[in-house]
Amino acid sequence: MSWSFAAAGSPEDVTRAIEESANNHLTDQSLQEWHDAKSALLTLVGANKAHNISLSASGHASFANNEKTYGECRVDLKSQT
* Predicted confidence (pLDDT) per residue in 41-79, tens digit: 999 999 988 889 999 999 988 888 878 788 889 999 999
23, pLDDT greater than 70: no
Listed in sequence order, the residues at least 6 apart from 1 whose beta carbon sits closer than 8 Å to its beta carbon are 28, 29, 30, 33, 60, 61, 63
pTM reported for the whole predicted model: 0.82
